[in-house]
Structure 1
Amino acid sequence: MSILFDSFDEWRKYCSDENKPLYEPVLRYEREQKGKSEEEVWTGLSKAYLVMREAVQTGLTQEMNSFSGMINSGAKKVANLPLSVLSPEFQKLISRALAAKEVNSCMGRVVAAPTAGASGILPGTMVTLQEIHDLPDRTILEGLLIGAGVALIMEKRASISGAVGGCQAETGAAAAMASAAIVYALGGTVDQAFNAVAITIQCMLGLVCDPVAGLVEIPCVVRNASAAAIANSSAQIALADVSPVIPVDECVDAMGEIGQSMEAKYKETALGGLAATPTGQAISRRVLIQDIEIMDDEEVPE
């Protein structure tokens, strides 16, 4: 169990052969890796989920203004808009994903799930899901364990790092984690949960990592919101037993192949994409000048 499973097929087979719920092998993996009791693992998960909820609340109630000026309380604006594009619930989902990620961009406390750059996706999806369906915390925590298992396999077979595989590997992994957790929490089967992961990956393939000025702000924050929406749509599709056609392990492998062939300028280097636009370059120069001025102000006179 040192690497959990090599594939989703192995995970599926284990749960079928041992008649275990989807989260059980991940729980056992956590206990073995960290030398903790089952109670300690659940306590740790509860603390993590509390931080997620606090990040959502902070982002929706406090001013979120980043040093660069690119983040300016966007989550509050979305939450308070009197017009809902689809429904109030969808509006909450989007604003909450934005909120938690804005907290990260403004140097607040978040849960890297699986990375800080994707830290708004699980909070946005799980907090909203719990509210809509009145789910107990235990169900949400089991979902988070399943999400962790998804990330472990994706990391092994492809990557969960924007610097290695582009944003498809970072926000894509978080969205895949969330989609599996959603399906599980709503009583879906193992196959449906893994189909949700496959569908999510298919929707995220090829997404580049192009942070403006090298900061995890633009387009990272809004991508957290869009990834949260994709996680929910994938779960909805999978719960209806719509097949992804391409099996989940093959989808993960395709993500890895695309990440390997992606040019370096599209993998967190801020040398391509939005970061290389005239506006992106102008922002980069302005942020650099601000950094230099701060360093000059902090110098101690001889």
Structure 2
Amino acid sequence: MRFRTLNDIAEICREESLAISELMILEQEKETGQPKEEIVAQMAGYYRIMKEAVRKGLETETKSRSGLVGGDARKVNEYASASEPSVGDWAGKAMAYALSVSEVNASMGRIVATPTAGSCGIIPGVFVSSQERFGWSDEKLVRGLFGAGAIGYVIANNSFISGAEGGCQAEVGSAIGMAAGALVELRGGTPEQAVHAVGLALKNTLGLICDPVAGLVEVPCIVRNGLGAVNALAAADMAMAGVRSVIPSDEVIGVMLEIGSKMPSEHRETALGGLAQTPTGRKLTEKIKAAKSSGRTSG
């Protein structure tokens, strides 16, 4: 890739009058040797899977195998449709859709890891709700995924996207930044505004630990996806209003690396700390272990 930092992306886009998504497609052509049409078609397939996961989570039973989660997406979607959610209709739908995809993941359904399975609901939640809000075509949203991918590429190569390496800031935080930056472009913002949106989003999740109950991508992961989608909308709005990340976004990514590197192993996906080790978290873990043991014995 011609870029390694978000600043590189902004400079190239400014000099060559490109959108971030256009730059990423050009770089993908060079990296893979595939024609643009094939690259875009592959991404379109990913977006179809995202939309299918949103729908499946709202229309079918998505109870996880552990029994810890399932059905919350429907609750939020029904509430957002029938009431006046405090976050507004659009954000309410984004939250419901993000929960939906995450519940599909927990029930062993098909999702797209963006950038990981633990954060798979945020980009679909933001993208599908935005598409409904503005009447955008699938083609436009597919282009947006390339913009999100460029941002994710920078984060992955300069920090973490794995909870086991850098905590939940690396998974949910990265997804929020990717969604926020891509949304700015989708709504007509500049590459510079998109880059600021990433910094604003990431600063809000610095230090977020990864503490899954029983080591499952369920509690608190799914709820964090729902709230993360709303955070992405807010970060995009701030950036488009002219709010700048006073600490440059690339430096924020560097801080995420620093914090993640110093984070105790108990807070990096091991389920040995945080919410996983609360009294309730331990009880749920033992209950799940007992159920698995009973299942093996009876089988």
Shorter-chain TM-score: which interval?
over 0.9
1:14 corresponds to: 12
Cα deviation, residue 143, structure 1: 1.1
| Root mean square deviation of aligned Cα | 1.2
Q: Distance in 1 between matches of 2:240 and 2:267?
A: 34
Higher mean C-alpha displacement, 40-49 vs 22-31 = 22-31
Letter in 2 for 1:122: I
Cα deviation, residue 33, structure 1: 3.5
2:40 corresponds to: 42
| 2:31 corresponds to 1:33 | yes
Matching of residues 261-276 of structure 1 within 5 Å = 261-276=262-277
Q: Distance in 2 between matches of 1:64 and 1:177?
A: 26
Asked if 2 retains the 8 angstrom alpha-carbon contact of 1:151 and 1:173, the reply is: yes
Matching of residues 233-252 of structure 1 within 5 Å = 233-252=234-253
| 2:112 corresponds to 1:114 | no
Gaps of 5+ in 2: none
Question: Following TM superposition, where does structure 1 have runs of at least 4 consecutive aligned residues deviating by more than 3 angstroms?
Answer: 32-35
Would you say how many aligned residue pairs link Structure 1 and Structure 2?
Answer: 296
Higher mean C-alpha displacement, 211-220 vs 76-85 = 76-85
Q: Distance in 1 between matches of 2:239 and 2:90?
A: 20
Secondary structure, aligned partner of 2:245? coil
Matching of residues 9-158 of structure 1 within 5 Å = 9-81=7-79, 82-86=82-86, 87-158=88-159
Matching of residues 182-197 of structure 1 within 5 Å = 182-197=183-198
Letter in 1 for 2:169: Q
Q: Distance in 2 between matches of 1:204 and 1:251?
A: 11
Give per-residue Cα distances to partners, 1:123-165, cap 9 Å, x unaligned.
1000011111111222211111010111111011110010011
Tell me the TM-score normalized by structure 2: 0.96
Q: Distance in 2 between matches of 1:138 and 1:198?
A: 27
Asked if 1 retains the 8 angstrom alpha-carbon contact of 2:20 and 2:150, the reply is: no
Give per-residue Cα distances to partners, 1:152-191, cap 9 Å, x unaligned.
1101111001001100010001111100111000000011
Asked if 1 retains the 8 angstrom alpha-carbon contact of 2:184 and 2:194, the reply is: yes
Cα deviation, residue 38, structure 1: 0.6
Gaps of 5+ in 1: none
Q: Distance in 2 between matches of 1:30 and 1:70?
A: 40
Q: Distance in 1 between matches of 2:69 and 2:161?
A: 24
Cα deviation, residue 34, structure 1: 3.3
2:287 corresponds to: 286
Letter in 2 for 1:257: E
Identity percentage of aligned residues: 39
Asked if 2 retains the 8 angstrom alpha-carbon contact of 1:143 and 1:180, the reply is: no
